[in-house]
Structures are given as structure tokens and as C-alpha cells.
């Protein structure tokens, strides 16, 4: 028993010195559990996040836009794989992780339960959703768990093109015909609030936040990150000549930040609890993709087994 106390002291001392925790290091069970949950949720979000944009690949308005969107969606698949690998270093298997996603036991970011109705949504998702994700991910580059931190460094390098390509789409639409500009405004109207919800519940209501900050898994709180996103995005919307759908949005000289209206928390909890516009279909598509890929995995297994046998045979001969 006293051994655990000692180990926990050493663990905390390491964190205080700003050192990273590596897979074989001793760690409190709750640190492990929290991280497995967070990293796997993050991985699932990248994988489910391929769907709302994948939806538009065949209908992209030009070959350039199509190639770009395809590359972006491929990146998101890669992000999911980096993160599954990081989660696996904590002793959970890939099978268990996928199972948790497919049975609905694990959560993923609620933002992907919204529909992408028009091409302008590809602009708004890249600009706002990837923009919000980047703010969170830049912070996570300094998270205390080594493999998670290293995955985030890779991901951040790849993310900046995601946000730029989205903003470029918005620029093109905003400078286009009145109908195109209206389409861009409509996308902003629909994505603004769900994007703000990506940062999670208010600090006063976030039950996981204190441990995460203490263990340096997170370095900034939900509200701080959300504020940072708003402060950065307002000027970008102004440049587009688009209006952020929040009548209470106003610069506060004293705070040096924008004040903003209240998020519809009822909608937030509804989507988190599975009653969003696309929760059902996202999971259905994901499970179908996995099941339809079973024959490929089986064929790869059979081929690997056949080759292993042949190699073993030639060794004997």
C-alpha cells in the first residue's frame, strides 16, 4: 500500500518537473482510464468525422476542390490511426476500441452528428470545425502522456491546410453571386453554435476538467479555449462580410475579449446523449463499413498465412 503512495508521489513529482509520462511508467489507474477515454474518443471523432465531408467528395465543384477534399478526409483517417495507436500503448486493444465505437459505448465529438447540407458546409466545416479542433490540439501537443503528445504534434502539422482550404471555400462563395454568399451565410448560421459546443460543457459544469488540469492532460479549460476560438474567428468572419449569428457578440474592452451569448445547452446534451440529427446514421454507416470490409481482412489473413507457410517450407527444403 505505502508503495502506491510512494509511486504516486514520484508520478506527481515528474509532472511538476514538466516531464512526460511514458507507456511503461507507473501511473494512477484513474489517469490511465481518463486518457484511454479521451484518446479513444478523439480517435473515434477523426474516423466518424470523415463522413460529413466524405458525403461531398463526389459532388465537389471542381477537380481541384475534389482532390483537396479527398486529401483532407484521408488525413482524418490517418489522425484516427495515430490516435488508436497512442491509446493502445495504455494496454487496450484495437479490437476493444472499435467495439466500443460500434456498440455505441464510446462517444465521439457531437459536431459530426450534424448534417452537411450544401457545398458551403465544406467551407464552414474546414474553417470552423477544424479551426476549433486546432485550438484544442495545439494545447494537447503539450499533454503529459508522451505517445498522445507525439500524435498531436503530427496531427497539428497536418491540420493547418484543413482550416485554410475551408476558409478559401468561404472566401470564394462570399465573393460570388448573391445566392452563393447567402449559401455561405447559411452555413455559418448552422455551424457557429455547434462549433462552440465542441469545447464541451462550461467549466463550472465539467466533471472531468479538474483532474485533467491537475494531471496536465489539458493545460487550458473548456471556457478558455472557447474564448480563444471566438476571439480569433470574429475578424475572419468580418473579412468574409458574413455575420456571426449571435446578437450578443460584442468586444469587451475591459476584458480584452469578445462577450458572447449563451449556448443552447439543452441542444448540446441532446446531441451528446444520442438525439442529434445524425447520431443514428453515422454509427450505422461506420458499422456497415467495418462489416463490409471483413472479407478484405480475411483475405489478407489467408494470404499472410499462406506466405508464412511457404517461407517456412522453403527454410526446411
Partner 1 sequence: MSTTDNQWPLWEVFVQAKTGTPHKHCGSVHAPDKEMALQNARDLYTRRSEGTSIWVVPATAITASSPEDIGPFFEPSNDKPYRHPTFYVTPEGIKYL
Cα dihedral angle (169, 189, 113, 77), rounded to 10 degrees? 20
d(CA 76, CA 83): 11
- Residue 260 has what DSSP assignment? -
The helix or strand, by DSSP H or E, that contains position 257, with its residue range, turns out to be strand 257-259
The cell numbers describing 192, all together, are 457557429
- Max CA pair span of the chain: 83
What does 82 interact with, of Fe ion, partner 1, none (CB < 5 to 8 A by kind)?
A: partner 1
The cell numbers describing 298, all together, are 480475411
Among the listed residues 26, 70, 202, 272, the single contact to partner 1 using CB under 8 A: 26
Which residue is it, cell 508522451?
A: 146
Distance of closest approach, residue 215 Cβ to partner 1, in angstroms: 18
5 touches partner 1 (CB under 8 A): no
> How far is C-alpha 183 from the chain's CA centre?
25
294 touches partner 1 (CB under 8 A): yes
53 touches Fe ion (CB under 5 A): no
d(CA 317, CA 315): 6
Nearer to Fe ion, 44 or 218 (CB): 44
130 touches Fe ion (CB under 5 A): yes
Distance of closest approach, residue 94 Cβ to partner 1, in angstroms: 5
Among the residue ranges 62-70, 86-94, 209-217, 258-266, the one whose residues contact partner 1 (CB under 8 A)? 86-94
| Interacting residues toward partner 1 by CB under 8 A | 22, 24-26, 74-75, 78, 81-82, 85, 88, 93-95, 98, 150-151, 154, 158, 290, 294, 297-298, 300-301, 303-304, 307-308
| Interacting residues toward Fe ion by CB under 5 A | 46, 76, 79, 130, 162
Amino acid at each position: 500500500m505505502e508503495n502506491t503512495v510512494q509511486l504516486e508521489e514520484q508520478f506527481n513529482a515528474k509532472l511538476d518537473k514538466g516531464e512526460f509520462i511514458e507507456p511503461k511508467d507507473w501511473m494512477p489507474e484513474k489517469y490511465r482510464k481518463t486518457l484511454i477515454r479521451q484518446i479513444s474518443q478523439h480517435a473515434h471523432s477523426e474516423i466518424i468525422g470523415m463522413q460529413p465531408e466524405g458525403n461531398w467528395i463526389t459532388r465537389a465543384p471542381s477537380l481541384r476542390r475534389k482532390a483537396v477534399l479527398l486529401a483532407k478526409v484521408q488525413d482524418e483517417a490517418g489522425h484516427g490511426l495515430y490516435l488508436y495507436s497512442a491509446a493502445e500503448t495504455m494496454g487496450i486493444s484495437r479490437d476493444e476500441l472499435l467495439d466500443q465505437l460500434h456498440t455505441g459505448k464510446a462517444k465521439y465529438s457531437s459536431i459530426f452528428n450534424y448534417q452537411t447540407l450544401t457545398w458551403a458546409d465544406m467551407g464552414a466545416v474546414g474553417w470552423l470545425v477544424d479551426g476549433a479542433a486546432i485550438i484544442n490540439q495545439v494545447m494537447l501537443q503539450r499533454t503529459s502522456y508522451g505517445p498522445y503528445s507525439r500524435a498531436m504534434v503530427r496531427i497539428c502539422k497536418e491540420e493547418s491546410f484543413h482550416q485554410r482550404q475551408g476558409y478559401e471555400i468561404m472566401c470564394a462563395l462570399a465573393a460570388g453571386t448573391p445566392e452563393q454568399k447567402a449559401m455561405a451565410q447559411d452555413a455559418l448560421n448552422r455551424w457557429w453554435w455547434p462549433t462552440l459546443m465542441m469545447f464541451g460543457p462550461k467549466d463550472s459544469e465539467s466533471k472531468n476538467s479538474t483532474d485533467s488540469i491537475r494531471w496536465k492532460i489539458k493545460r487550458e479549460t473548456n471556457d478558455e479555449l472557447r474564448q480563444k476560438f471566438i476571439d480569433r474567428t470574429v475578424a475572419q468572419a468580418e473579412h468574409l462580410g458574413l455575420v456571426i449569428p449571435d446578437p450578443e457578440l460584442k468586444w469587451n474592452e475591459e476584458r480584452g475579449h469578445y462577450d458572447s451569448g449563451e449556448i443552447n445547452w439543452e441542444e448540446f446534451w441532446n446531441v451528446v446523449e444520442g438525439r442529434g440529427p445524425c447520431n443514428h446514421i453515422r454509427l450505422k454507416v461506420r458499422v456497415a463499413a467495418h462489416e463490409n470490409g471483413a472479407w478484405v481482412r480475411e483475405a489478407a489473413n489467408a494470404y499472410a498465412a499462406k506466405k508464412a507457410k511457404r517461407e517456412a517450407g522453403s527454410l526446411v527444403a
